[in-house]
Amino acid sequence: MAMANNKTQCFTCNIEKITYLCDGCSKRFCLTHLPEHQQLLNEELSHIANEYNEFKQIINEQKQNLQNHSLIKQIDQWETNSIEIIQQKAQNCRDIAIKYSRRFITDIENKLNDLNEQIKEIHQENEFNEINLNYLKNQLIEIIEELINLSNISIQKDTQSFINEISIISSIKPKFNKWKQNAITVAGGNDSGQELNQFRCPTGIFIDKKKNVFIADSLNHRIVEWKYNAKEGQIIAGENRYGNQMDQLSCPADVIYDQQNHSIIIADQGNRRVIRWMNKSQQILVHNIDCNGLAVDKNGFLYVSDREKNEVRRWKMGEYNEGIVVAGGNGQGSKLDQLNLPCSIFVDEDQSVYVSDEKNDRVMKWRKDAKEGRVVAGGNGRGENLNQLFAPGGVIVDYLSQIYVVDWGNERVMRWCEEKGEYEIVVGENGQGNQSNQLKGPFDLSFDDEGNLYVADCSNYRIQKFEVVL
């Protein structure tokens, strides 16, 4: 019997041999030339990786020099040639231009990070072909083209007025999100209790990039991590029940997850301390403080609201002395330099501090180094009208200076546009209740990277996710 001939021609040497198919180019190579082909693919991948690194450097340089953008220089010239009464307008336009650019570059960075992860994965698996490489090339080209579109931002002037009015116009249209009114319960929702699928008064929440939810389960004296799509949570701090020992908590009010070093910072309110947990070890950061809200800015400074002293203080990470008062600190009251039970806080890119001023039914904004704040939401007395708040809680500000605030007493989440003075109900228009379109005693809010809105629905013992409408 004749032996079957399973030899085919090698693409490189054109000799009949036992060959192997490359899925990417659909060509066959012998054992001698297959490694050579693989080496060429490796070199191509390295080339793409080098292009990625070069482009990432450009992004970093532009990010560090946003203040030198030609738009900013035009605004500076306009301000120089104008009188004092329009200087505030110049600053507002400057802020908007930077926020547009920053948001755009952040989006580009996120896409670059995703592309980098794909490159790393292909490197590690060592199983790739021309199809994979062409896909990576096209992705990089698309990202580069997106950066070029940043030049579509320009200045619009009104030549009819004595002083030319300016504003920012852009082909990058701002996105005013809407959310589905029927929420999905992503954590809890199984009545009050201390089981791993239950809460007793969830107050503070933090969403990481993987959509895992970190919850300050206040009356269970613990911090729970509820992984994405999980049926129950896991205790990551406070598993030793209520107490004042280093490994115990007492009524934690808020939590921040530090995604760089995988640690959590907790407002351990009942123990009057701010404490960091990392790998089962603990470190007290701030002592003797009636802590409620936490925030960390882009420079790593820690901000804490103190309800007893009616102030917000800032600390440099690693230097926990007396800290610096950045809001309030002038006794309890309703003046612009005072607070009355400060609750949640948010710090923007310019280190301006937004504070939910609970008993004054308003949200205050304190610019960096300011001696007093200004009212940016509420401040029209306690009530349920659209221009009023009732004991505001969690607060977040987006890149368009839109302020999202939990209106605790009115069982809703509001959106206030600082620039236009407009306000609207985001979710919770259906009154108090436990249905999917209702809230009961909401405390805090957060967003994931896709823009979905999460609310700590405290008195319903659950975390609600309102999906963004695309």
Domain spans in the chain, listed from the N-terminal domain onward: 93-170, 181-469
- pLDDT for 1 equals 36
Give, as one character, the DSSP assignment of residue 32: T
Q: Give the C-alpha separation, 306 to 332, whole Å.
A: 11
Rg (CA), the chain: 27
CA 397 to chain centre: 10
Q: What is the pLDDT along the chain (470 residues), one digit of tens a residue?
A: 344 467 899 999 999 888 888 988 999 999 889 898 999 989 999 999 998 888 888 888 777 777 777 788 888 887 877 765 566 777 777 888 887 777 778 888 888 888 888 888 787 777 778 887 888 788 888 877 777 765 556 777 765 665 777 777 766 666 678 999 999 999 999 999 999 999 999 999 999 999 999 999 999 999 999 999 999 999 999 988 899 999 999 999 999 998 778 899 999 999 999 999 998 899 999 999 999 999 999 888 999 999 999 999 999 987 878 899 999 999 999 999 999 999 999 999 999 999 999 999 999 999 999 999 999 999 999 999 999 999 999 999 998 889 999 999 999 999 998 666 778 999 998 989 999 999 999 999 999 999 999 999 999 999 999 999 97
- pLDDT for 3 equals 44
Q: What is the CATH number of domain 181-469?
A: 2.120.10.30
- The residue with tokens 């911090």 is 223
| 3-class secondary-structure state, position 99 | helix
Q: Give the C-alpha separation, 301 to 75, whole Å.
A: 30
Q: Give the C-alpha separation, 357 to 246, whole Å.
A: 31
Long-range Cβ pairs for the range 69-77 (8 Å, 24+):
69/97, 69/101, 71/97, 71/153, 71/154, 71/155, 71/168, 72/97, 72/98, 74/155, 74/166, 75/155, 75/166
Sheet with 422-427, edge to edge strand ranges: 392-397, 402-407, 412-417, 422-427
CA nearest to 254, candidates 446, 450, 434: 446
Using alpha carbons only, give the angle 120, 110, 279 rounded to the nearest 5 degrees: 70
- pLDDT for 174 equals 62
CA nearest to 368, candidates 332, 419, 317, 314: 314
| 3-class secondary-structure state, position 340 | coil
CA nearest to 326, candidates 291, 272, 372: 372
What token pair was written down for 172? 């990058």
> pTM of the full predicted structure?
0.71
Report the sign of the C-alpha dihedral through residues 244, 248, 254, 260, in that order: positive
Amino acid (one-letter) located at 211: K
Q: Give the C-alpha separation, 188 to 355, whole Å.
A: 28
- The residue with tokens 């992503």 is 186
Beta bridge partners of 291: 306
- The residue with tokens 């079957």 is 4
